[in-house]
Amino acid sequence: MNDLNTLPPVLRHLCHEQPPTIAVDDGGNLTQNLDPIPVVDLQSLNHDKNNLDEACKDWGLFRLVNHGIPPTLLNQLHDQAKQVFSLSFESKRESFDGSSVNHFWGTPALTSSGTGVTSDHQKTNLFEAFHVPLAQLSQFQPQLPLIESFRVLLVEYGNHLSRIATTLFEAMVKKLELNLEPSKSYLAKDTGYVRVYRYPHCSNPDIGLGMEVHTDSSVLTILNQQDIVSGLEVLRDNQWLTINPISNTLIVNIGDLMQALSDDRYKSVVHRVKVNREKERISMGYFVFSGDGVELKSSKYKPFTYDHFRDQVQQDVKAFGTKIGLARFKRAEDN
């Protein structure tokens, strides 16, 4: 798909001009190899032997099976996403301009120096994406039939994601024995959004990452990587571990807000995305947050709302070129 006129101009010179190698699953592909991350069965959360608590404490992420999303829907979403990304860049800009769906790409990559700039040039995250606020999808009325079909699929997909996130969160709260106020939305359906990512193949993967090293600011993140091309990596024991794409499974990771709610018993996992030399990759991430004005309280952190947390992250990135995140809110005795 990597026809250069489909890519944002800033990414075109970074991508190989030759078409990507067609990915063929020959049985020895990464999609057939289980990685060591824990597996959680959504239908067995109430069983004593389910390992949800252990996975959240030791890993900060897990592979979810028996999640209830029809395989046909996951496959259709992936196929439709490929077709939408295959539209010319100009067509995509025109189709999404002024809509509730934001088309964006190539955000500046942060560096450990805190400047956001390397010695020779400013690096760029190598992706193109659509930011889709699920609560506003009904207001989005695209003119192109292809994009309308994709919108309909995303509505159905979003309903499944909300169900899964709520079920997992309630199980986590029970395991942690959290005393949350029942009238407050610590995980709010209307905050959920999907980001549909396209990571172009790159003839020189050393030029940058698909997505920089980071933690998510969410309560929970649910990743659908139906594509057979790997790229997601998590930091485990100071080493990077590839999280293999396996059909009809989802990857769930803990975000900063859940780590705070859990008093650091659950961890917000550090992760990144690498690009492939020959093959393009598509993935879809669902992010959900606490409700507007809901104050998160814990013994480890000073009380804060998600809006406060987000604003502080944005200030830090602007001032220092990096996300500081939860460390900003640590109580003095825990510093």
pLDDT per position as a tens digit, 239-252: 999 999 999 999 99
> Strand, coil or helix: what is 173?
helix
Per residue in 44-86, pLDDT (tens digit) is: 987 767 799 999 999 999 999 999 999 999 999 999 999 999 9
Structure tokens at 275: 């690009």
Q: 25 pLDDT exceeds 50?
A: no
Kindly report the backbone phi and psi dihedral angles of residue 121, in degrees, each rounded to the nearest multiple of 5, phi listed first. -165, 165
Which among 249, 289, 286 is positioned nearest to 40, based on CA atoms? 249
Mean pLDDT on 122-147: 90
CATH class of the region 4-334: mainly beta
In order of 66, 196, 224, the CA distances from 231 in angstroms are 23, 15, 12
Task: Name the 3-class secondary structure at 5.
Answer: helix
pTM to 2 decimal places: 0.90
| Structural domain boundaries in the chain | 4-334
Give the helix/strand (H/E) hosting 131.
strand 128-133
Mean pLDDT of the residues in the chain:
87
CA-based nearest residue to 217, from 334, 309, 107: 309
Question: Which residues form the catalytic set?
Answer: 281
